[in-house]
Amino acid sequence: MDPVKLMKQEVGQAAAAKVTSGSIVGLGTGSTTAFAIQFIGERLASGQLTDIKGIPTSFQASVLAKQHGIPLTTLDEVDRIDIAIDGADEVDPQHNLIKGGGAAHTREKVVDSLADQFIVVVDNSKLVDVLGSTFPLPVEVLPMAVAPVTRALQALGGQPELRLGVRKDGPVITDQGNMILDVKFNAISDPAALEKTLNNIPGVLENGLFVGVADVVLVGEVQGDSATVRTL
């Protein structure tokens, strides 16, 4: 198997193993979390896990959960989330994250920050010393505000680019009907301050900085032909 896929699979399985019966589980978005969702489904099917309900962070998570037999609920029906499992695009040494590679960070931030325990699942290529060094920061924007928000982001020193679809002409439209500006900042020295500054721009729904939200970061690594998982 491709080594990156192997790391994602192992780390997804390790996170799924942490889910206990009776839990409300936040289901993240992306290719790593997809493995966690698959393994939670397998544990349910085998009877190892019972009585759990998932809260999906995206259309993708909802489809996968249904495919793997995980019953779903909403934040209107429950007053807690016990555990959330989600991927990330960058993780710094303080466990702050950039998320939104799948344009799902707005719902992900709601669900992940409500969870008693938020477990991040990544392969080791996602570890960085400083956020922003490898991945542009996704910012979800109301369609009618894309032009002024672009100018405001440039004034902050960023280089915003409208995210375009793949095998779809025109912009990516989020699950909420908005657009994504991917903003290159090179190095984000104060993620907590930038997170607040960006969310203060009129027309910005949410940005992909997750500061102080992660409780546990599981990292997949490849050694020889096999993958291992370590806790950061």
Among 10, 89, 112, 206, contact with ligand 5RP (rule: CB under 6 A): 89
Q: Which is nearer to ligand 5RP, 30 or 158 (CB)?
A: 30
Among 68, 105, 109, 163, contact with ligand 5RP (rule: CB under 6 A): 105
Q: Which stretch binds ligand 5RP (CB under 6 A): 18-26, 95-103, 158-166, 196-204?
A: 95-103
Query: CA angle, corner 208, sides to 85 and 112, nearest 5?
Result: 25
Could you say whether residue 191 binds ligand 5RP (CB under 6 A)?
Answer: no
For 126-182, the three-class secondary structure string (H helix, E strand, C coil) is HECCCCCCCCCEEEEECHHHHHHHHHHHHHCCCEEEECECCCCCCECCCCCCCEEEE
Give which of 3, 30, 15 is closest to 229, Cα–Cα: 15
HSE-CB at 99 with a 13 A cutoff on CA atoms is: 33
Ranked by CB distance to ligand 5RP, the top (closest) residue is: 101
Rounded distance between C-alpha atoms, residue 227 and residue 221, angstroms: 5
Tell me phi and psi for residue 154, to 5 degrees: -65, -40
90 has catalytic annotation: no
Any known ligand binding at 41? no
Rounded distance between C-alpha atoms, residue 163 and residue 180, angstroms: 6
Q: Residue 210 Cβ, how far from ligand 5RP at the closest point, in Å?
A: 9
Q: Residue 101 Cβ, how far from ligand 5RP at the closest point, in Å?
A: 3
Q: Which is nearer to ligand 5RP, 36 or 194 (CB)?
A: 36
Q: Which stretch binds ligand 5RP (CB under 6 A): 70-78, 94-102, 160-168, 178-186?
A: 94-102
Tokens of 225: 């032909």
Residue of 108, 140, 195, 221 with catalytic role: 108
Could you say whether residue 104 binds ligand 5RP (CB under 6 A)?
Answer: yes
Q: Helices 31-46 and 59-67, interaxial angle, to 10°? A: 30
Residues in 19-78 at the binding interface with ligand 5RP, rule: CB under 6 A: 28-33
Q: Residue 47 Cβ, how far from ligand 5RP at the closest point, in Å?
A: 28
Could you say whether residue 102 binds ligand 5RP (CB under 6 A)?
Answer: yes
State the DSSP H helix or E strand holding residue 122, giving kind and residue range, or none if neither.
strand 115-123
Q: Which stretch binds ligand 5RP (CB under 6 A): 69-77, 80-88, 151-159, 191-199?
A: 80-88
Rounded distance between C-alpha atoms, residue 101 and residue 30, angstroms: 8
| Residues in the annotated binding site for substrate | 29-32, 86-89, 99-102, 126
Enumerate binding residues for ligand 5RP (CB under 6 A). Answer: 28-33, 86-89, 99-105, 108
Provide the annotated active-site residues: 108
